[in-house]
Amino acid sequence: MGFKIEINSILRVDSCPNPEVGKVYEFENDGSRLYYDNIPIWLIKRDWTAQAEIQVIEQTRVAGKKVVGKFEVKNILSEEESRVLTIMLKRMYGWE
């Protein structure tokens, strides 16, 4: 018997279409996940478009089925930063 948990350095959700620096947003994702919460991570749309650098400030795993939490936006990526990071992420995770 075991317990599967994914440790993530990116938050991939579509629930934040227009993030703003300094604002706090809620998120929810399926599965038993743990997001880095003491360093900035990437906010990425489901289609792998890179949006921002964020910091998870709260997260709770719910019965091994999902994780809910909050994050604060630290920096919005420029168009060029987003373009380059999106290409890299798609290549790394096989979404070309």
pTM of the model: 0.90
Token reading at 26 = 């809620």
Residue 1 lies in a domain: no
CATH number, domain with residue 13: 2.40.240.20
Residue 78: give the domain boundaries. 6-92
The pLDDT averaged over each successive group of 10 residues in the chain (96 residues) is 83 93 96 91 95 97 89 98 95 79
The residues, ordered by sequence, that sit 6+ positions from 15 with a Cβ below 8 Å of its Cβ are 25, 26, 27, 28
Residue 28 lies in a domain: yes
Check residue 96 and give its pLDDT. Answer: 60
The residues, ordered by sequence, that sit 6+ positions from 75 with a Cβ below 8 Å of its Cβ are 21, 40, 52, 53
Residue 69 lies in a domain: yes
Check residue 1 and give its pLDDT. Answer: 63
Paired sense of beta strands 66-76 and 50-62, if any = antiparallel
